[in-house]
Structure 1
């Protein structure tokens, strides 16, 4: 009985111990970098995340002065998500909006911008208004996603400790009688 109680207590401590972080993937860098000016528009944009995102539902939309210029679907290789740009894209201000599925299964979305002096089609940029950058909002999602694991950990720990305590007391009664 004591061994069973010890095993249950150890299991309870394992459940109560902090598990792997329940954090979403974070956009670490982009190419072109956010807010920069490039001499010539690249053939693709690359987003590098803190962890390898899942391919499920990956979306990257590159929008320039003439509208969306994304070409095909984004490709994922490790932590990098690459989106090709149409060869007819002109120079100008560009916004890249993304939505990927984090390796923990939650969506991560955001956007960044850059300016290209010359487009892939050789055209020069026209003067335009600066494009504001919208940071990804993950604080509400992160708090909501942590609530369930925390509650399950607390309830599971209490149940295991209760069962372990019951078995210890029962074992003491058995030793007396």
Structure 2
């Protein structure tokens, strides 16, 4: 009777862990839905602020949003600001003609870091003054990797360890006598 109860308990724990794992993998993280300028757009003059809007609210902690020009210099000014689903940064007047990269790294509502790039092309030269070359200190996130581990991985691991420990505690210490 005790063995059946324990087997049912361990099976239930594994099923709960599997259910949590399946739910965790199905949950989507933040994804960009729009940007200013639009991704892939060709513009004649830069916007006052570059922004990226996501499909869900963002956490305001430690956002990164940079605009890097074809000359390899920063064209964004100041710190990025999160407002609900949107992260933005001041840009000002741009400079050389060519492709600009908007690199972002934000934290989604579920705590998962999300990063990526968007691009636009400036078709007419501007008179803006470039900033320094991007570094990790001044906010370039093009080379960052996510590094975030989803929560469900830890939950499944805890369930498996608990189930294994419980099984060992109940059955591991018994010595079995051979049947004669």
Fold shared per TM-score above 0.5: yes
Q: CA 1:45/1:119 → structure 2, altered by over 3 Å: closer, same or farther?
A: farther
Deviation at 1:40, TM superposition (A): 2.3
Matched, 1:114 2:116: no
User: What residue is the counterpart of 1:63 in the other structure?
Assistant: 68
Match of 2:31 among 26, 30, 43: 26
Contact 1:39 1:118 in 2 (8 A): yes
1:2-37 CA distances to partner (integer Å, 9 max, x unpaired)? xxx9xx9xx968776438646432222222121111
- Write the distance in 2 (CA, Å) between the matches of 1:107 and 1:83: 18
RMSD after superposition: 3.9
Matched, 1:37 2:42: yes
Please, what TM-score do these two structures have when normalized by structure 2? 0.59
Contact 2:102 2:119 in 1 (8 A): yes
User: What residue is the counterpart of 2:156 in the other structure?
Assistant: 150
| Uncovered stretches (5+) of structure 1, i.e. residues with no partner | 123-133, 163-177
Q: CA 1:83/1:95 → structure 2, altered by over 3 Å: closer, same or farther?
A: same
Deviation at 1:137, TM superposition (A): 6.6
Give SS of 1:40's match.
Answer: coil
Q: CA 1:28/1:156 → structure 2, altered by over 3 Å: closer, same or farther?
A: farther
1:43-73 CA distances to partner (integer Å, 9 max, x unpaired)? 1111111221212111111012452111111
User: What residue is the counterpart of 2:103 in the other structure?
Assistant: 97
Give SS of 2:157's match.
Answer: helix
- Displaced runs of 4 or more, over 3 A: 11-23, 118-122, 153-160
Q: CA 1:25/1:147 → structure 2, altered by over 3 Å: closer, same or farther?
A: same
- Write the distance in 1 (CA, Å) between the matches of 2:163 and 2:37: 48
1:101-153 CA distances to partner (integer Å, 9 max, x unpaired)? 2222232211121012246648xxxxxxxxxxx8x976xx57x4242232234
Q: CA 1:100/1:85 → structure 2, altered by over 3 Å: closer, same or farther?
A: same
Contact 1:59 1:99 in 2 (8 A): yes
State the number of aligned residues.
147
